[in-house]
Amino acid sequence: MRLPHPLTLLVGCTVIAAALTHVLPAGKFDMRDDPATGKKVAVAGSYHRVEAHPVTPFETVVAIPDGIIDAVSVIAFVFLVGGAFGVVDKTGALRDGIDWLVRRLGDRGIVAIPIVCLAFAAGGAFENMQEEIIAIVPALLMLTQRLGFDRLTVAEMSVGSAAIGSSFSPINPFQALIGQKVAGVPQFSAAGFRGVFLALALLLWIAGTMRHARRVRVAPVRAEIGSDSKPFVFRGRAVLVIVLATFAVFVWGVARLHWDFDQEAALFFAMGAVVGIVGGLGVTGTAEAFVEGFQSMAYAALLIGFARSISVVMEQGLIIDTVVNGLASALAGLPTALAAVGMMAAHAAIHVPVPSVSGQAVLTLPVFAPVADLLHMSRQVAVLAYQYGAGICELVTPTNGALMAILAASGVRYDEWIRGAGVMLALVTALGVVAVVVAVSLGVT
């Protein structure tokens, strides 16, 4: 059985969210400025009912363009990155460089999988890499085609590894560190505990990805003789050096200068313009290659905007805080270990309408941390439950626009992803459950 088309699925979720605004009571938490995070965070125990604002059918439709507008910086980034890599592809340098790499690997092409997985896991662990992956999908598709692997392998190596790195990381500033700040837990505490389970999660994920790749591998596709690929000589090497230098500047800008999508998009646009000239396309050829790249990313960009419309509807209907308060209240009477697992499940459920991990931290942890105190549970465990619940849910929920866009760019249907990666997702989820239970048993603080 196939799931509906992704756009149909996202519109359906938006309609369901609108219907819930007619069923669930509207409510809000009081918010306060938190100097530690520089954000507004919920005040524990301040939930109160407010006047209902059920979203009308017309407002539900309007939420779709509102979602696109709300995600405009991400969408602009996707378009400009797609255009830049359209230029890189047009020069032929990327294809020729990948052909050279494949020839060097020979029959050992499978070793590329753990290397690529670890690279994306590092991006996830250090800076919560997601939308940035879209820029690299075209190169990964070429590489896997040359090595004989399928498109699902691309998604598992990239977005899968990055999400595992993010959700189990001891240093991810957008999950672990902001969660610890909001919960009042010392930053970098329990890093060793997180590091052990990060290693185990990556072992599970990489082993599963390699198993899938071996099972589906076909004869590698070699570059066709007489194709439009140029010899991998000075010009092609210069193009790849520019691309690699761009990624180095990108990492530096994100890590040290705290760049947002606007600065990142500008960097890749500049890269595309320089690559076009150095690659011999000329001004007109570069512009035409940009347009082709824009076209290739239109579908992925739309998915991001449509996914954002779901949270727009729930925010307009004032029911997100109601969901959070209800789930937190349900945990109060449970045994400690069971409550910890329930907290992880609650965070996974909340992540569907709140697909931003940092936004979820400032909304939920001021509420769940006092619940942990009442249950005689360490606040560190509450942060772990948030990390594993929200982080692993990133790989499942269709409201995560970045996931849907990466799958679309990779040519993988959402139902193919769920079926193909389902066992691995179940295993890392089980590992997260084990981690929170062990943390409760050991009294990790």
Helix H or strand E segment including 33: strand 31-34
Helical segments of 317-356, H only: 320-330, 336-351
| Residue 221 confidence (pLDDT) | 58
The SS3 call for residue 189 is: coil
| Residue 174 confidence (pLDDT) | 83
| Residue 95 confidence (pLDDT) | 72
DSSP code of residue 222? P
| Residue 228 confidence (pLDDT) | 44
| Residue 129 confidence (pLDDT) | 83
Out of 23-37, 132-146, 429-443, the most confident range is 429-443
| Residue 135 confidence (pLDDT) | 73
Give the model confidence (pLDDT) of 209-255 as tens digits: 999 999 988 766 554 434 444 445 678 889 889 988 988 898 788 77
Q: Are 147 and 112 in contact (CB under 8 A)?
A: yes
| Residue 23 confidence (pLDDT) | 95
Arithmetic mean of pLDDT, 381-402: 93
Beta bridge partners of 33: 40
Give the integer Cα–Cα distance in Å for 20 and 277. Answer: 53
97, HSE (Cβ side, Cα atoms, 13 Å): 18
pLDDT at position 392 over 90: yes
pLDDT classification of 358: cutoffs 50, 70, 90 = confident
Within 8 A by CB and 6+ apart from 422, the residues are none
Give the integer Cα–Cα distance in Å for 62 and 215. Answer: 45
Give the model confidence (pLDDT) of 244-295 as tens digits: 898 889 878 877 888 888 898 899 999 999 999 999 999 999 999 999 889 8
Beta bridge partners of 28: 48
**Helix 234-256 and helix 261-278: axis angle, to 10°?**
170
| Residue 226 confidence (pLDDT) | 40
Percentage of the chain lying above the pLDDT 70 cut: 96
Give the model confidence (pLDDT) of 97-123 as tens digits: 777 777 777 677 888 899 899 989 988
| Residue 96 confidence (pLDDT) | 75
24-38, 89-103, 129-143, 219-233 — which is least confidently predicted?
219-233
pLDDT classification of 342: cutoffs 50, 70, 90 = very high
Closest Cα partner for 27 from 294, 318, 387, 309?
Answer: 318
25-29, 200-204, 218-222, 424-428 — which is least confidently predicted?
218-222
pLDDT at position 2 over 50: yes
pLDDT at position 410 over 80: yes
Out of 142-146, 248-252, 434-438, the most confident range is 434-438
Q: What are the boundaries of each domain within the chain?
A: 6-50+57-442
The SS3 call for residue 49 is: strand
Arithmetic mean of pLDDT, 318-347: 90
Arithmetic mean of pLDDT, 191-203: 96
Give the integer Cα–Cα distance in Å for 90 and 240. Answer: 13
DSSP code of residue 34? E
